[in-house]
Structure 1
């Protein structure tokens, strides 16, 4: 009798979040987390087949062939040192303007992608007039026009949430230590949600990318992650009940041990996996979590290996109904990406400065400034979709077909 009652109670606990999610039907045009699926307003499954727009609003050193200067601020310092402040500012303005354009969105839709994931740097959204708002408004307009959804992802939170180069902080996840950074992060998400609460082109909000790297005090920091998520979600829900929140695990988004029972009925959970074996054991813990709590899973980042591996790991996740977003859409001189940017003549001379400590720059021979500027402008031209190369085998490895 006791065992039967306990089993019944456990079953009720496990199915409760899914039942709660089903109580609220998706609003017109909005995808919602329901049970272990993302669902359209008509109740059909929305299958996430996505591509991340890495490097666009948050540059990473390896995508510039820089081996040492890897964070956005470090990359910017290389360009400014070689090209001068005026030309550097021009380069970055043009870079953000052309790196993602309507042609890119149209291509992705035609190839069969349903979703794009957009990493954001907080510095582009600090005021109502900040540059980032217009850039996101524009890309969402293109997404709406071509019938594709966008996931907004805070990749660099105030103070940093990861403690490595790609959160553009000081090398420590200070958002968990400094109350002002925490307040700014919560407020940033409230402002994002306020602006896009009625925008069905937005699929959902990926709250923090890869929080708490394994290089830091996980025992201290991990228990502080979910409370921050809850605070951010509360701020979002004060203005937006339409969009799912997507919660990334700790330690490169792999450690689901930081999560308790779901605290929001329109929430999903995301993990990242690179260079993993395409075997069930690599996803079993995540599948168990999803089934226990009745929540959707999302493979938020993966890839950067061979086409054969892409196909195998994608198929493994699809077997369990897990949507995915591969990393990354566009890169410099790369086969492991959808679109490859041709490396312009003279780029190696720039990359040489990005591949040594700053303390060595003054002892190195600088290329003539006019040559640097010429190379940077060639990069901008090469980054345009019409001038780049589509890796068709890569697209095919994702079960899609480049037009």
Structure 2
């Protein structure tokens, strides 16, 4: 990538943006709110809808707090470590187990706090999904036994033997002051103070519900479905049922909880992995879990997740479940990297991540459907996805609230170094705190505004300098046009932002060595809009900082009128930047939309600087 040395320090521009957009962030949903504040009451399913105790429909739209009670490597940019237990394994090379546990206590205390939940409420969301790891409900001694497997993975059999013993002696999940209960109680209190519902999500089930250990932190793939103890029992399943029994006994009358998400994203349950391939194993465990929760006199809505990362429901439809009480069930989809076209269909009616199939499944079985995870894409995809779901009155929960150095989360965690060093850990504990995170305002806009919405990303005045990357907030074809702005095929890994910096739109943005930004990969037909305020009417000189490896051409328009055209000559080297000057037509005073159009491609664009045109004296 070509990088530029340009413009103002990024810290100053970030501060300006925060000051400008405080009002926008606090009022994003005004006039187009996808959710409304509610007084919390126990929810129940009635046909295809979720209703509160007064019979009013509640459409749950919110955010996941992933990476908190279960670390996923990519959220912290520790991808080479691949999952939480391998992160812990790395930490144990240089610290004691007690030190490692203390670090995790501090991490959990800092990563999500009431300030984060308050922020979600201010943006207008009405629920929070809480992914958690079962090991937080183990005693310290029981967790130490699991840690021994991290030290020596061949110790899995010994851990399973211990689980069997604890299960038979009723020593699992009996301490009401366990870390897991404390953390859930905290978030329930924070959410209730904001009238937000909570979804309890068993994200890392005992043994692991799939093959991807980053998702479920398993030691052996699919052990939840396969591992038997010395008595021939599927012991991890027994432990999972016991955990939900204890959760139901504690929370059975708690109206703050909207849904129990029984098992997150079962996957790879197929013949190639020694399983039935028709969800037989998943159906049997769901029957056990449903019966176990209902035996605790708990009528919370139970969310089922299909095979294939939560989407495929063969033998899991209500007619196939071997349970007496089929009330208060809901069905989940996880929507990533798929089309948002409402006419797109999957030939398997039980595969429900496409909008058409999701609606058809809801109507066929008369059950509520809910998208428990969606995201990991561009703002354009986010907006199209949630607007498509909103149009069908289907709730959703976006993934994920925070990520390290990512424009795709609601909050950006600053880089911290290495988790395996004391300095890196100290920086991480600081950086994950809400007050130290950077709001990604364009993400919030994509999730909460209408398709026609547009607003300034930063204030732009003429005369003055406009950084090219500070184009307006809004969807593709409203705030900008780019040749590729969303991933709709999971097999296509083309980045929507080819520079990967600053913003999460289709616009390609590079970072320069001084921390400022330049729009890159500008191709014919692309354009960017800027809301500008012209202080005085008249013509202006415009300096344009540009880089091009071939002759290019840019046009400036105000509303529909062309105000200037700029031929761009080829640089003498690929790294050469040019500052070119042209003069505009007379500009009217007031607020206007300035559009930068690419008539012929240029490589990068850093900024445009407007100054009043020099007045030429008569006869001069």
Q: Would you call these one fold, judging by a TM-score over 0.5?
A: yes
Pairwise CA distance, 1:133: 0.7
Structure 1 SS opposite 2:376: coil
Structure 2 SS opposite 1:205: strand
Instruction: Report what 1:163 is aligned to.
Output: 211
Change (3 A) 1:249 1:324: same
Contact 1:53 1:119 in 2 (8 A): yes
Query: Could you tell me how far apart the structure 2 residues matched to 1:148 and 1:227 are?
Result: 33
Instruction: Report what 1:318 is aligned to.
Output: 390
Indicate whether 1:300 and 2:312 are aligned.
no
Contact 2:266 2:307 in 1 (8 A): yes
More helix by share: 1
Structure 1 regions of 5+ residues with no counterpart?
A: 1-27, 354-371
Indicate whether 1:256 and 2:256 are aligned.
no
> What does 1:141-220 correspond to in 2, within 5 Å?
141-165=189-213, 166-177=215-226, 178=228, 179-213=234-268, 216-217=273-274, 219-220=276-277
TM-score (norm 2): 0.55
Change (3 A) 1:240 1:103: farther
Structure 1 SS opposite 2:403: strand
Query: Could you tell me how far apart the structure 2 residues matched to 1:295 and 1:318 are?
Result: 17
Instruction: Report what 2:341 is aligned to.
Output: 279
Pairwise CA distance, 1:272: 0.7
Contact 1:212 1:221 in 2 (8 A): no
Instruction: Report what 2:131 is aligned to.
Output: 119
If asked which structure has higher relative contact order (CA below 8 Å, sep 6+), I would say 1
Query: Could you tell me how far apart the structure 1 residues matched to 2:392 and 2:275 are?
Result: 29
1:131 to 172, 179, 182: 179
Larger radius of gyration: 2
| 152-161 or 74-83, which deviates more | 74-83
Query: Could you tell me how far apart the structure 2 residues matched to 1:170 and 1:50 are?
Result: 31
Contact 2:249 2:298 in 1 (8 A): no
TM-score (norm 1): 0.83
| 272-281 or 214-223, which deviates more | 214-223
More strand by share: 2
Contact 2:278 2:315 in 1 (8 A): no
Query: Could you tell me how far apart the structure 2 residues matched to 1:156 and 1:191 are?
Result: 17
Deviation readout 1:305-325 (Å, 9 max, x if unpaired): 111110001111222221001
Indicate whether 1:289 and 2:377 are aligned.
no
Query: Could you tell me how far apart the structure 1 residues matched to 2:201 and 2:382 are?
Result: 23
1:309 to 360, 365, 381: 381
Change (3 A) 1:68 1:216: farther
Q: CA RMSD in A?
A: 1.9
Indicate whether 1:381 and 2:419 are aligned.
no
Change (3 A) 1:322 1:58: same
Contact 1:91 1:377 in 2 (8 A): no
Instruction: Report what 1:239 is aligned to.
Output: 296
Contact 1:60 1:72 in 2 (8 A): yes
1:329 to 387, 401, 416: 401
Contact 1:249 1:258 in 2 (8 A): no
2:445 to 396, 399, 402: 396
Structure 2 regions of 5+ residues with no counterpart?
A: 1-39, 139-172, 229-233, 345-353, 451-620
Contact 2:278 2:314 in 1 (8 A): no
Change (3 A) 1:302 1:217: farther
Change (3 A) 1:147 1:222: same
Indicate whether 1:65 and 2:77 are aligned.
yes
Change (3 A) 1:217 1:285: farther
Deviation readout 1:304-348 (Å, 9 max, x if unpaired): 11111100011112222210011111111111111111112xx1x
Query: Could you tell me how far apart the structure 1 residues matched to 2:389 and 2:236 are?
Result: 35
Deviation readout 1:355-379 (Å, 9 max, x if unpaired): xxxxxxxxxxxxxxxxx21221121
Pairwise CA distance, 1:151: 0.3
Query: Could you tell me how far apart the structure 2 residues matched to 1:258 and 1:286 are?
Result: 17
Deviation above 3 Å: which 4+ runs of structure 1?
Answer: 82-87, 214-221
